[in-house]
Structure 1
Amino acid sequence: MLIIVGGSAGSGKSTVGQELANYLNCSFIDADDLHPAANIEKMSHGIPLTDDDRWGWLEVVGRKGGDAAARSGTAVVACSALSKAHRDKIRASCAVPVLIVMLNISRPELERRISSRKNHFMKADMLDSQLATLQLPDETENAIVVDEHVSLENIEDKVKQKI
């Protein structure tokens, strides 16, 4: 199974994803590391990505995450996966089942977290575009939605019940 830890910038995807991978003793991939240089350049200049910028990247995320999961049984990827269409692209690009763990964090908390980061290409003024794109998973998706008050242990328990 491929577990996608999703959410907007500042939601804690990388931290939760790495901890979840440690808990499950499986590989972890940060999708930020898979962005093409053009996407990083764009975001570094405060220009939000469009879906056209994301499609190829999401395909790579699904393929690499799916390959990692196929090798070991489970893999965790931290990836924004903001909309259902984004998550559908990831699912279509991998050959294993996908579980979405969507981190639903309040705007004030996201702003606080992003503004405290150093040396990250995602800037606080780009949060609007991410929140405008964000669609929480619906009942048709294999997903868990958690807010900022849910502990890591609780997330781990919820994931363990789904896999």
Structure 2
Amino acid sequence: MRTPHVVVVMGVAGTGKTTIGPLLAARLGVPYAEGDDFHPPANIAKMSAGTPLDDDDRWPWLDAIGAWADGRAGLGGVVSCSALKRSYRDRLRAAAPGVVFVHLAGDRSLIEDRMAHRRGHFMPTALLDSQFATLEPLQADEAGVVVDVSGGPEAIAGRAVTALAALPDPPA
């Protein structure tokens, strides 16, 4: 990739966005931003209590991520963001037209097991069903790739780099 992409690492909770994002950014030589850091405290409190966010909760969060991505246009960057619905990805693309998505996807039982064993994260396993119910996978007309989350983090990041390399360069 001659011109670095701004990559949004997306997927349901537990797919490894926070683990794969920094690995991918390091391999691409661009900065990483943790999408959860863009959430206002009220969103974190709501999710910590086991209550799914609604669209009104998500719009300011998506706008903040979109602004970060737009600021990295032409420079490249990687940011994690669940981006579960097409409308969320459309909002990110409206803010940062050149973004591409890496959809981390995998077997629900694997993802649930990983969530059950992680420590220090506010998202409870109980919200996984709502995440899968909300998920609208990438469509053929969306710039992005789907990457399987089986295996270790290095293998997943490697698959993501390989898949991204096959995408056309973003507009200058």
TM-score by length of 1: 0.93
Q: 1:158 aligns with which of 148, 158, 163?
A: 163
1:126 aligns with 2:130: no
Does the 8 Å CA contact 1:21/1:76 hold for their aligned counterparts?
yes
Q: Which runs of 5+ in 2 are unaligned?
A: none
Q: What SS does the corresponding residue of 2:136 show, helix, strand or coil?
A: coil
Name the aligned partner's letter for residue 98 of structure 2: P
RMSD after superposition: 1.3
| C-alpha distance in 1 between matches for 2:147 and 2:93 | 21
Does the Cα contact within 8 Å between 2:32 and 2:77 map onto a contact in 1? yes
Matches for 1:95-110 after TM superposition, within 5 Å:
96-110=97-111
* Residues 1-163 of structure 1 aligned to structure 2 (within 5 Å): 1-67=5-71, 69-70=72-73, 73-94=75-96, 96-149=97-150, 151=155, 152-162=157-167, 163=169
3-state SS of 1:60 partner: helix
CA distance in 2, matches of 1:26, 1:7: 21
Distance in 1 between residues matched to 2:67 and 2:93, nearest whole Å: 9
When normalised by structure 2's length, the TM-score is 0.88
Which residue identity is paired with 1:61?
I
Distance across 2 between alignment mates of 1:29 and 1:157: 21
Contact (CA 8 Å) 1:60, 1:93: kept in 2 or not? no
Q: Do the aligned partners of 1:31 and 1:77 also contact (CA within 8 Å) in 2?
A: yes
> Could you tell me how far 1:130 is from its partner in structure 2?
0.7
Deviation of 1:157 (Å): 1.2
Is the contact between residue 104 and residue 145 of structure 1 (CA under 8 Å) also seen in structure 2? Answer: yes
Map Cα deviations across residues 36-83 of structure 1 (whole Å, 9 max, x no partner).
Answer: 01100101111111111101100110111221x23x611101110111
Question: 2:6·2:78 contact (CA, 8 Å) conserved in 1?
Answer: yes
* Unmatched segments (≥5 aa) in structure 1: none
Matched position secondary structure for 1:97: coil
> What is the DSSP-based 3-state SS (H/G/I as helix, E as strand, rest coil) of the residue aligned with 1:77?
strand
Q: Which amino acid aligns with 2:67?
A: R
**Poorly superposed stretches of 4+, deviation over 6 Å:** none
Identity %: 40
